Structure 1
Amino acid sequence: MALNILTPSQVQQWKEDGYLLLPNFFSPEESEEMLDEAKRLCDEFDVTDHPMTTFKTQADGEHVGDDYFLSSGDKIRYFLEPSSLATATPSEPSKLLVEPAKSINKIGHALAPLNPIYKKYTLDNPKIVGLAKDLGEQESPRVLQSMIICKQPRIGGIVPCHNDSTFLYTDPPSAIGCWIALEDCTPSNGCLSFLPGSHKAARIASRFVRDPSGKGTTFTDVPGIEKNQENWDEMEGWKEASCPAGTLVLIHGSVMHKSPPNKSDKSRLIYTFHMIEGGNGTIYDEKNWLQPTEEMPFPALF
């Protein structure tokens, strides 16, 4: 099969490791345009009437789940870094401890279809189409969860060990992430780390869903799948994935990865989106936290 973007050795490395760094996938001018747009969106954040919804991870012991979050699949919304916010008290509402532009954890979840800059570099990008075809993993990719992740200086939080198919579950699992560095990503400002080959052993035994009670989100078991007993976080072989701006990192939905907090004075802005299989009888059901709408179904890449 003729390849469009990748080399045969890169395809083999992807299959072996479950992730692949592609430096210079975007030119300095292209990554700068995406970075400028991310900064513009941050600068235009208006905290007036914002519900002060934070984005929390497993490291925080809970996940967000208010309506602002759950109805963001066809919108561009702002989610705050937990440490940027003073906790509400009976007498005082929540308030920001930093300027609004520096309080943002992420902006999502429909940048690719709704923002012209990110649409240009995602849905309208022949290189992304060629890349997806080279992987050969999906017959009809659908794009979802497109977002900016800020990893703010000094307050950007830890992202614990996880894999993406738990959070974007399909039957069978099919998620692939495209993670794009808009700034240099280093160990000091929170670059990714991966456990190479873990996608071959990890089982998607639980999934992140809307709570059946109608309030928030929770995890539920996947019937018939036995949970791994390994403590992935403590296994040997983790590799840091430092990368310069313009790098695209491909992430298999089952590979274990994480990132540390940003304790530096430098931000770590990235743009990311995911693809799931939209054909081959693959099921993305109503239990998932992120839902398409009739007005905006998950767009097909090709």
Structure 2
Amino acid sequence: MKTNTFQLSPSQIEVYHQDGYLRIPGFFSKEEIDKLYGIALADDAMRKNALDLNDREGKKTRLSLWFTPGNDTFGYLVRCQKMVDSVHTLLGVDSPVCHFHSKLMQKEPKVGGAWEWHQDYGYWYKNQFIFPDQMMSVMVALTEATKQNGCLQVIKGSHKLGRVNHGFAGEQVGADMVMVENALKTMELVYCELQPGDALFFHSNLLHRSAANLSDYPRWSLIACYNSQSNIAYNETSTAWKVPVNVVPNEAILEWKSEAFSKSDFLKKENDPALKDTGWEK
């Protein structure tokens, strides 16, 4: 079996640490993305375990979130060699890479809601992870992401602010808008338009949002969230965050037999600590 190799360049690593994010065009092939998107559309488990979260305007954002990456095609994607190696390089610590959770983001045409300005660590702080620098997310576009269908927006370099206070915005957890406005006056707003198969690696403290999808086209993406094993979570009931990823070859996505996705340990809305009021959101 031929093994594809991929290695981040020194300049790409520098961009990630300077800007808080790194876009890699064509990280996954059209054949891989076609297979993943087809499964996402057809899989009953994805639909049955999807959560609806209202934005400030009452529009619904829809996602399916699971913790342990399995022997299904999405599990192979988040466990593949080039993904885990890239995360390990960007986190910059010797500790093994663990998979915290993945989520399939589903923004349907005309009705898909917005994600308010936030940092991922604004959510994960409630899980009491200690080191935000040892956490990151990787977005993989399954469909085209444009300004028209609500692509991700980021504030370039905002990961250097540290954690911003967060409160509730609709059913979502949103960043303090005074700090967001200050950041927008100081740093560049970037629209991260993506083609299917592009990957966007971003720091857990990068401020980001996405607008509602008012276009005629869906915007679907996978976001895989990773943690270094040395980064302890003191308020997290799942255990995936401390289990080193069982890495598979890059070819597994297309070539390996996959199990049913229904075996995954999906998050239930009522069990999400980020959606519980702890008092400091006021």
With the length of structure 2 as denominator, give the TM-score of the two structures: 0.72
DSSP-derived class of the 2:104 partner: strand
Which residue number corresponds to residue 113 of structure 1?
A: 69
8 Å Cα contact 1:5/1:134 also seen in 2: no
2:130 aligned with 1:171, yes or no? yes
1:120-139 to structure 2, matched below 5 A, reads 120-123=76-79, 125-138=80-93, 139=95
Identity, in percent, stands at 22
Question: After the TM superposition, which of the residue ranges 27-36 and 230-239 deviates more from structure 2?
Answer: 230-239
Question: Computing the radius of gyration over CA atoms, which structure comes out larger, 1 or 2?
Answer: 1
8 Å Cα contact 1:196/1:239 also seen in 2: yes
Q: By how many angstroms is 1:105 displaced?
A: 0.8
1:30-45 to structure 2, matched below 5 A, reads 30-41=32-43, 45=47
8 Å Cα contact 1:175/1:252 also seen in 2: yes
1:44-193 to structure 2, matched below 5 A, reads 45=47, 54-57=52-55, 59=56, 83=59, 105-110=62-67, 113-114=69-70, 116-123=72-79, 125-138=80-93, 139-169=95-125, 170-173=129-132, 174-193=134-153
Q: Which has the higher helix share?
A: 2
Greater relative contact order (Cα < 8 A, sep 6+): 2
With the length of structure 1 as denominator, give the TM-score of the two structures: 0.68
8 Å Cα contact 1:168/1:208 also seen in 2: no
Q: What is the root-mean-square deviation in Å for CA atoms of aligned residues?
A: 3.1
Q: Distance in 2 between matches of 1:142 and 1:35?
A: 24
Unpaired runs of at least 5, structure 1: 61-81, 85-103, 210-215, 220-226
The 4+ residue runs of structure 1 with deviation greater than 4 A are 205-209, 216-219, 227-230
Q: Distance in 2 between matches of 1:11 and 1:53?
A: 34
1:245-264 to structure 2, matched below 5 A, reads 245-264=196-215
DSSP-derived class of the 2:107 partner: coil
Q: Distance in 1 between matches of 2:184 and 2:84?
A: 36
Q: Distance in 1 between matches of 2:130 and 2:46?
A: 39
Q: Work out the number of aligned pairs and report it.
A: 232
1:197-276 to structure 2, matched below 5 A, reads 197-200=157-160, 202-204=161-163, 206=165, 229=179, 231-232=181-182, 234-235=184-185, 237-276=188-227
8 Å Cα contact 2:84/2:97 also seen in 1: no
Q: By how many angstroms is 1:203 displaced?
A: 2.2
